[in-house]
Amino acid sequence: MKYRKFGKTGWEISEIGFGAWAIGGNAWGIQKDRDSIQALHKALDLGINFIDTAQVYGNGHSEYLIGKVLKERKRKNRKWCNKNRDQNSSYRWLLATFTI
């Protein structure tokens, strides 16, 4: 996996991220949790350390699955990109590192 610095944060981010909209189900149809968890594990095994999610992805189900996988793996230094609406109903990006 190739990595790059993410803006001025100094974070080394994988050039490929994991987009987690589909694993939330809902808009993309029914997804099997087993398949979603397997896909997340494979992405992390390949060196992906950047996950894009939002509370609206399956009404939080995407975030639930991501949390479950990260807890199982007990690894550190993952980057999480989340979107949230502000009071003007426009999307705002929230970036955070997390340690489990």
- What is the rounded distance in angstroms from the CA atom of residue 24 to the CA atom of residue 4? 28
3-state SS string over the chain? Answer: CCEEECCCCCCEEECCCEECCHHHCHHHCCCCHHHHHHHHHHHHHCCCCEEEEECCCCCCHHHHHHHHHHHHHCCCCEEEEEEEECCCCCEEEEEEEECC
Q: Is 57 a catalytic residue?
A: yes
Residue of 3, 57, 64, 91 marked catalytic = 57
Residues assigned a catalytic role: 57
